[in-house]
Amino acid sequence: MQYSIVAPEKLRVVVTLPASKSISNRALIMHALSGSSMLPQNLSNCDDTRVMVRALSDMPKNIDVRAAGTAMRFMAAFLSCQKGEHTLTGTQRMRQRPIKPLVDALRYVGADIEYEAKEGYPPIRIYGKPLEGGRVEMPGGISSQFISAILMIAPTLKKGLDLKMTGQIASRPYIDLTLCMMREYGAKADWTDINAISVKPGQYKARQYTIESDWSAASYWYEMVALSNDPDTIVELEGLSENSKQGDSVVRHIFSLLGVKTVFSKHPAGQLTKVTLKKLRTRLPKLEYDFVNSPDLAQTLVVTCAMMGVPFHFKGLSSLRIKETDRIEALKKEMAKLGIVLREMAEGELAWDGMRCRPSDEPIDTYEDHRMALAFAPVAFVNKEIKINQPGVVSKSYPQFWSDLRQSGFEINEI
């Protein structure tokens, strides 16, 4: 399938964003470990969360998480401490994404896990049982999901967990989000040093939990405001929290440097916020930023800056190599179709100094990666038209994205 996308001349819209996938998937694990029969409220309806709901509800012997990285990592830890035998597998790409650091750590605290095929990669067979816990080291720079996965089961371990992370810690805000939610569910868990966390043995407490909207999804509306030619553009986003623990809430600060103003207003009856985005007349002549704490925003900012003609130098992108696709290579290839030549300055660094090449009429490929489709769709504000292959990949995190665009005045046709 291929979509042809044409942007509206004016953008005036109110958008109800999807619930946060990151919070939803963490809440599901903690709910399950608390013994609660109630699901959290306002759960995300994305593919990744639906996979986890089915797995936790049915607990089949063979669990196919498809392309859901959080489900693979979180379920690997969860099943390790639950009695029973299960096999975790996924898509071909998922079977290429490493899981060895997490498996090693789980084995160290007593888990019984075998690789079904290639050493260090899914599928894995798990023989669940009560785990001892204790002290363990894990590399901090590969994926914060590995860290979060073992942290969430730590209260169930007989000795709790003393975790030390080696090297640079990637996506630290996502670890903070995990710890904050664990405390909300009654766990005793906190940082004891800049690279160390202690979790005491105990029991999660069942509670009602409402999921806030997704700041990662909001980033694409920030991009649209930045790229829109209409100086009076207004986008209102429903359901966000001003004090959110989501790492990608930093998007509001980054886009303030690119001419997008964020205005918060409280709803009368609750703590969630309506966010109004407006265009400003000022912007940085060049953007330098380290995405080590928010790598999921990288594609959005690469596309935005290039389409605005703003040179950039971005660091902290090493983890993009092991996402749904190799996002660094995908960005280099697809941006070239738009006439933009990206340079990889060093491992985990991408830059654009204004160098251009001849653009092509080829559609943008998405590589089974939702964020490629989401980040490139707003290019329609700059180009007369943008074509995107396999647009259905957005269901992984933002299923109603194309519907929201149509309601905003976009013309979207299937080719």
Measured distance CA(288)–CA(205) in Å, rounded: 43
Give the lowest-confidence range in 106-120, 234-248, 399-413. 234-248
The DSSP secondary-structure symbol of 283 reads -
Please give the Cα distance from 260 to 321 (Å, whole number): 29
Q: Say if residues 246 and 215 touch (Cβ distance below 8 Å).
A: yes
Please report, for residues 150, 165, 333, 359, the alpha-carbon distance to residue 145 in angstroms, rounded to integers and kept in the order given. Answer: 9, 13, 27, 37
Q: Catalytic: which of 47, 48, 214, 296?
A: 296
Contact (Cβ atoms closer than 8 angstroms) between residue 79 and residue 128 = yes
Q: What is the DSSP letter of 369?
A: -
Please provide the distance, in angstroms rounded to a whole number, between the alpha carbons at the two ends of the chain.
7
Strand arrangement, sheet containing 273-279: 12-16, 234-240, 273-279, 260-266
* pLDDT, tens only, 138-194: 999 888 999 999 999 999 999 999 999 999 998 999 999 999 999 999 999 999 999
Q: Is the pLDDT of residue 270 over 60?
A: no
Q: Known catalytic residue: 296?
A: yes
Domains and CATH numbers, the chain: 2-19+212-414 (3.65.10.10), 21-199 (3.65.10.10)
User: Which run of H or of E encompasses 24?
Assistant: helix 21-34
Residue 272 has pLDDT above 90, yes or no: no
> In the predicted model, is pLDDT for residue 269 greater than 70?
no
For residues 321 and 389, the model is more confident at 389
pTM of the model: 0.92
Give per-residue pLDDT as tens, 314-362. 999 998 988 888 999 999 999 999 999 999 999 999 999 999 999 999 9
* Structure tokens given for 341: 């030549």
Are 314 and 343 a contacting pair, CB within 8 Å? no
Give the per-residue pLDDT at 369.
94
